[in-house]
Structure 1
Amino acid sequence: MEKTQIMVASNGDNENNNYDRMKELKAFDETKLGVKGLVDAGIKKIPKIFIALTDDAHIKKNLDSYSESSKEFSIPIIDLGDITKGDDQRRKMIIDQVISSCENYGFFQVVNHGVPKSLMDEMLEKVRMFHEQPAEARAALYARNHDKKSSYLSNFDLFQAPATNWRDTYYCRMAPVPPKPEEIPIFMRDTITEYSVQMEKLCLELLELIAEGLGLKRNYLKDMECGKGWDFLCHYYPECPQPELTFGISKHSDADFLTILLQDNHISGLQVLHKNQWVDVPPVHGALIVNLGDLFQASISFYDNILITNDRLKSVEHRVLSNLEKPRVSVACFFNGTHLEPSTRKYGPIKELLTETDRPKYRETTLYEYLTTHYGKGLDGESALTALFKF
């Protein structure tokens, strides 16, 4: 990736009498062709709706500085290969690595995780095929309806976020109730179904490791239904003529329990905020990236005293840079429970992690309430957890 400085537009640049942002947003949305449509049209300058604002200007965006920080920090890579050998000492070592990574970074990569590399490569290729198919085929699936289980759109928060991101997304809700087979494009149907099975297995294994690391029973987080429902967000980041002006995805933390990310094997772009510096997460062929989301943080850090003991495990802000080279693809699997299913279940404190002196930090919430807030506000630099649910 070309190392450039992320430039930002001041709020004043968007405030002139001749600029109608809402009109431009609607015009872009109505094409149903996404960012890929702009690139196919041969644009040389990005539309104003994509220019990043100064909402996170306090964080350095100079990629030369970031390169120096990447030499100092690196996201841990954890080998899960020995976890099935029945060696308790080896299992404890892996658990310690997972908890330490969550404490210090909020992110880690896993290798020898059981998901075939061939399937991972096939999944990335099918996502690329989806986004590079004829425009009319993509447009037929374009929808801004979060209730559809299989759809295509550009920026779920297009009309809420302060700046539009340079990406398009194929969305597929795979569990607890998957879409009908005919709702998934035929050329990716078998691949995404097989990949979904592998993601469920890996998620449940990771939840067991985290639960044990917190001193809970092995099935505790599984029984909380943290891994019962999941979505695929299959992102496509077209080459950008002005990558210094916009983001692939702006700064955010994930609105789920756990995320497993398959990123492009060749093009970097993902960065994690660590000690107030943006650190690159370079592609490692065969590796999967894991991070905790806001809903997991709310469950394990519900009380102030947990800040000293178990609030070590937090959802961490991250972002994706745009690039000049060529399109980048990724597949994010978001484990977010059963938020689209009727449920009055509220998520609050894990009682086994509390003491008598603890006091509330976040109020209880249902998955539906939390995610409705998340989708309603968009990626504006603040998580829904802080915006609505913190006392």
Structure 2
Amino acid sequence: MKSNYDRRSELKTFDESKAGVKGLVDAGVEKIPRIFIHEQNKHYNVSDSSCDSKFSIPIIDFEGIDKDVTLRDNIVNKVRDACENWGIFQVVNHGVEVTVLDEIIDRIRGFHEQDLEVKKEFYTRDLSRSFTYNANFDFYQAQVAIWRDTIYCSMAPCPPNPVELPEVCRDIMIDYTKKAMKLGLTISELLSEALGLKLNHLKDMGCVEGLSLLGHYYPACPEPDMTLGLTEHSDATFVTILLQDQISGLQVLYQNQWVDVIPIPGSLVVNLGDMMQF
């Protein structure tokens, strides 16, 4: 029997609403649209649960990193090991105040939870815009959509005009960027040292000039077993700093097992992906 399902039309209708995934929830949807349904049991042959995992991702303390040579060498060794074996690690005492981390999470959530008519102004797939808000950057290319809305802004090396940023999160985006860039420089120095290179090697290559800020929002789903907030993927970015909230959802594949990235208040996750791990 031939199906009359028009996926392209459903994608277009959803996108033109400019309401995002949260708009579906606000409308009281009880059954998620077909475009978000993921066929189950198509994952790699790995453990489906990390509840009983004996592994945990490396946690590295940056306290005193610039004050003690021996301590710094120890941190470099930990970074090297984490990169080689995990491709991801968690950082504490990194220099970015907890108040800043709390505020940017709060303000990004505030953007996503404001009135739809205010958000619609920013909903676009025009990559030339300084600030964009939409659901799934690859919405029309991906086989299945994921249950997530996202704001995106390239903050460096060419920062946006502040007036182009939403008022609800404008100031904290600028403040956070400054502190994240400083931390990114520190991490690039540690990576350079871990590779046996000069301190500024990666910086001189231009590896710490750019910073893109993404703020994901995962609305409560009426059928959580039918969709995903993030699909399996191998990141190939230089370094991505992910904010940690109080809800764990991030996992990393290690020795054929999915391991939870347990949130630590005030911590940051450095996710290097395949490129730097190699």
Same fold (TM over 0.5): yes
**2:268 counterpart residue number:** 288
- % identical equivalent positions: 52
Q: 2:90 aligned with 1:121, yes or no?
A: no
Offset at 1:62? 3.2
- Give the aligned partner of residue 239 of structure 1: 220
1:213 aligns to 2:199 (yes or no): no
Q: Does the residue aligned with 1:186 lie in a helix, a strand or coil?
A: coil
1:83 to 41, 65, 90: 65
1:94 maps to what in 2? 75
Which residue is 1:68 aligned to? 52
Instruction: Identify the residue that residue 6 of structure 2 maps to in structure 1.
Output: 20
Give 5+ residue unaligned stretches, structure 1. 1-14, 298-312, 315-391
> How far did residue 147 of structure 1 move?
2.4
Measured in 1, the distance between the counterparts of 2:148 and 2:12 equals: 16
Aligned to 2:258: 278
- Is 2:143 the partner of 1:162? yes
**Displacement after TM superposition at 1:54 (Å):** 5.6
- Pick aligned residue for 2:34 from 48, 52, 59: 48
TM alignment of 1:187-266, pairs within 5 A: 187-264=168-245, 266=246
Deviation, structure 1 residue 58: 2.9
Greater RCO, 1 or 2 (C-alpha within 8 Å, sep 6+): 2
> For this pair of structures, how many residues does the alignment match?
278
Q: Which runs of 4+ in 1 moved over 6 A?
A: none
| Displacement after TM superposition at 1:187 (Å) | 2.3
CA contact (8 A) 1:59 1:277 kept: no
TM-score (norm 2): 0.96
**SS of equivalent to 1:248:** coil
- 1:193 is displaced (CA, Å) by 0.3
Taking only aligned residues, the RMSD between alpha carbons, in angstroms, comes to 1.6
Native 8 Å contact 1:253 1:293 kept in 2:
yes
Check whether the contact 2:10–2:35 (CA below 8 A) recurs between aligned residues. Answer: yes
141-150 or 126-135, larger mean C-alpha shift:
141-150
Mapped to 2, the partners of 1:61 and 1:184 lie a distance apart of 42
**Residue 234 to residue 290, structure 1, CA distance change in 2 (3 Å):** same
Distance apart, 1:146 and its partner CA: 2.0
**CA distance in 2 between partners of 1:41 and 1:60 (Å):** 37
Shift of 1:293: 3.9
Normalised by the length of structure 1, the TM-score is 0.69
Tell me by how many angstroms 1:254 deviates.
2.6
Query: Are 1:50 and 1:246, in contact at CA under 8 Å, matched by a contact in 2?
Result: yes
Q: 1:268 aligns with which of 234, 241, 248?
A: 248
Q: Residue 75 of structure 1 contacts residue 107 of structure 1 at CA under 8 Å; is this kept in 2? A: yes
Q: Which moved more, 1:181-190 or 1:251-260?
A: 251-260
Question: How far 1:68 moved relative to its partner?
Answer: 1.8
